[in-house]
Amino acid sequence: MEKKKYYVNIGTQEISQIPYGNNDHIVIHATDEEVFNLREKFNEMHDAEIGTFVRAHIPFVPYHHDTQNDDYDRGIQEVMQMIYQLADAETKKAMESSMNVEKK
């Protein structure tokens, strides 16, 4: 399958083939299937994020017993690893220097 160039904004969870705003800091080259999988990871993170928002308003559930926080943390780790694997050389270099990403 042919890989295409995409711009990713982790904060807004956007994946675009068009550079605009602040989305040009992370560049990946991915197939349609890889983009679909990354979108699914973002969706899972979004669902977990909503769960953490709800939990934050329930004072009797301690943070360290909150599975939504664990799911969100796991999701961001999976997203970052996936982005690193698909990233162009410049993005990989930036990730390695600023986030201490493990090379694989």
pLDDT tens digit sequence for 45-103: 877 666 565 555 566 656 565 566 677 788 888 999 999 999 999 999 999 888 665 55
Collapsing DSSP to helix, strand or coil, 101 comes out as: coil
Ranges of H-type helices in the chain: 32-56, 67-86, 89-99
What does pTM read for this prediction?
0.74
- What does the pLDDT read at residue 80? 92
Which pLDDT score, from 0 to 100, does residue 21 have?
Answer: 82
